[in-house]
Chains A and B, each alone.
Chain A
Amino acid sequence: MNFADLSNLALRGLMRRPVRTLLTILGIVVAVASMVVFLSLGEGFRRALGDQIGNIGPDIQVQLAGSDSSSVFGSPIPDVPVANVARFEALKTELGIRQVIPYLLTARGNFSGSGYVILAYPFENTELTDVYPNMKLASGRWVLPSEGNQKVAVVGSQAAKTAKLGLGDELRLSRTDRYKVVGLLEKGEGFTDSAIFLPFQSLSNTLAVQGKATGIALKLNDPGDARKVANELNKRFDGELKAQTQGDVVQVLDRAIAIGDAFRFGISLISLIVGGLAVANTVMMGVYERTKEFGVIRAIGAKPSFVFQLVVWESLLMALLGGVGGIFVGWLGTLAVNFAVRDLISVEIAQITFRLAALAIGVATVLGLLSGLLPARNASRLVITEALGRN
């Protein structure tokens, strides 16, 4: 029997009990959709990472050796002595370092919709476009080199929304420290959209962390040398400071996302197993109900392998239909997730990539195969005389 005839027979078998088949497929749809939505979060982060990390930030970041490696932007409490800047300045010519930029980073608010990141650079010798080349002003002006000690701020578009700041407004960081918004940024890349930029010295005073930085950013004459330079720095400052390239940062973030993926997949595995059991139950019941029919088909000359294939294909068809439906419903779910968090971050947090869709179909296929194997084995091993009700 050719594949088209086998498929036709399998479909007819499933349509014998349309409601039961539909409910089983719905079970798979829900299981696959939940997996797709869960894993789409990782895919969204991963894509944002690929799109943005490469364009933002320095070529190399330096933190204290032994600081939390999962925190790519450094320790939450500034702990890198700014005095180290001079040591890197001294290596500029030898290692091809163009700029040495200490920075402070702190976060305000939470994920309730009012969160933003505060980044501080020494504007005396640094322009924001040095660090973030794609950044553009929407209104106002940049922080001037003479304002290193002033309480002024340039605000990202999303941060302006969440902190309810306009040009000329004041950002209050403590009872006495208010920063005047002198510039608003155009909507751009997700990370900088949610950031507020302040002069290094001013924030240092506000946070009372004088002489300390969250990290030191290095821009190189040739960004292609980043790995080589980072290795050299790690050799020279072994045990004291740790230099990371953008690639290292991406790797650390990717590893964090992968751990998240594994965790989310573990959760969705529960619903997948339940869906698989539903398919197995449906197929098993179908086999039980059609014992006599399989006996007839075997009697007139079907090989045991044909019955096996027929039952497995029925199971696979249900799982594949559920898989495709699950991707569609999962896609709707990602739209809902992105809509819900659009005010928090300007990154599309949930995304369905080809890789994720392929994984969903792959999981559905494996699910269908595993669910169909036992019923198929039973069906193919039917004793014809017993199936026909003889003896």
Chain B
Amino acid sequence: MIILEAKDISKVYPSGESSVTALNHLSIGFEAGKITAIVGPSGSGKSTLLNLLAGFDRPSSGSVSHQGNDITGMPETSLAAYRLAHFGFIFQNYNLVSILSAQENVELPLSLAGIPKTKRNSISSEILKRVGLSKRTTHYPNQLSGGEQQRVAIARALATNPSVLFADEPTGNLDTATGTGILELLTEPMEGSQNRTLILITHDMEVAARANQIVRIRDGKLEG
């Protein structure tokens, strides 16, 4: 079952008097229970595709729909609420909020969703335990290693139980051993899951090899 779908999307950026086409009439669907790796060289349009799929940006033409809901035309406020409810994000640079502890970072999306403190605490404690950080809950990002920060980021992304997980170069800043552990953490929630999809942006073919399908992009178009 297709859970997230982009139909004929293009993204054109103005550049002086001319323009740059980052994505060119691209269509793609992501199935529930599957891991999809989007690979391609730098400047191929991988990150632009992720931005459009996640609702960070809007396509110049075409549409993106999630579970049948067109998110392309949603007002900004509704789109933010939609992201909070359905999408989870893991970034290459972890992007934790530096003034919040590990547990508070995990609780941030729950807090935004208006979940009461006691419930937030129990959810965040349980997820942090799952990612092996139950003893680091009160530590701040600058007190955690890169691998630990990425685990907190994964815990934060999973906290709201999203149906789409976006991971943008999740192992890009980590050594091989730590990266392997992170990938296991990322792919583990997908095992047996029939209502979630994981979209991995990477240029590392070893990482891509863990996916059920690999999508190659070059010059804003799908290859092959």
Contact = CB atoms under 8 A, between A and B. Distances in A.
A374 B165 CA distance: 34
A258 interface: no
B81 A388 contact: no
Interface string A375-391: 00000000111001011
Given A1-B111, A293-B97, A297-B97, A390 B81 contact: no
B99 A301 contact: no
Contact of A302 (B22, B96, B112, B156): B112
B84 to A, nearest CB: 2
B76 interface: yes
A5 interface: yes
A293 B98 contact: yes
A20 to B, nearest CB: 14
Interface-central residue, B56, B89, B108, by most chain A CB under 10 Å: B56
Given A1-B114, A384-B56, A391-B13, A305 B77 contact: yes
Interface in A350-391: 383-385, 388, 390-391
Interface in A275-309: 292-293, 296-306
A301 B81 contact: yes
B113 A301 contact: yes
Given A1-B111, A300-B156, A303-B77, A390 B56 contact: yes
Given A300-B83, A300-B84, A306 B112 contact: yes
Contacts of B13: 391
Contacts of B96: 296
Interface string A244-280: 0000000000000000000000000000000000000
B95 A384 contact: no
A103 B196 CA distance: 96
Contacts of A305: 77
A304 B77 contact: yes
A305 B87 CA distance: 20
Chain A, interface SS category: helix
A13 interface: yes
B85 interface: yes
A13 B51 CA distance: 27
Nearest to B87: A301
Contacts of B109: 300-301
B111 A299 contact: no
B51 A391 contact: yes
A301 B56 contact: no
B95 A302 contact: no
A176 interface: no
B57 interface: yes
Contacts of A301: 80-81, 83-85, 87, 109, 112-113, 160
Nearest to B113: A301
A87 interface: no
Contacts of A302: 80, 84, 112
Contacts of A15: 99
Nearest to B166: A299
Contacts of A296: 91, 95-97
B47 interface: yes
Interface string A1-35: 11001000100110110000000000000000000
B100 interface: yes
Contacts of A298: 80
Given A13-B99, A300-B108, A391-B47, A2 B114 contact: yes
Contact of A16 (B47, B80, B99, B114): B99
**7 tightest A-B CB contacts, nearest first:** A301-B84, A12-B99, A384-B56, A303-B80, A296-B95, A301-B83, A303-B77
Interface of A: 1-2, 5, 9, 12-13, 15-16, 292-293, 296-306, 383-385, 388, 390-391
22 contacts: A1-B111, A1-B112, A15-B99, A16-B98, A16-B99, A292-B95, A293-B97, A300-B108, A300-B109, A301-B80, A301-B83, A301-B85, A303-B77, A305-B77, A306-B112, A384-B51, A384-B57, A388-B91, A390-B51, A390-B56, A391-B13, A391-B51
Given A2-B114, A300-B112, 10 more contacts: A1-B112, A15-B99, A16-B99, A296-B96, A299-B56, A300-B84, A300-B89, A301-B160, A385-B57, A391-B51
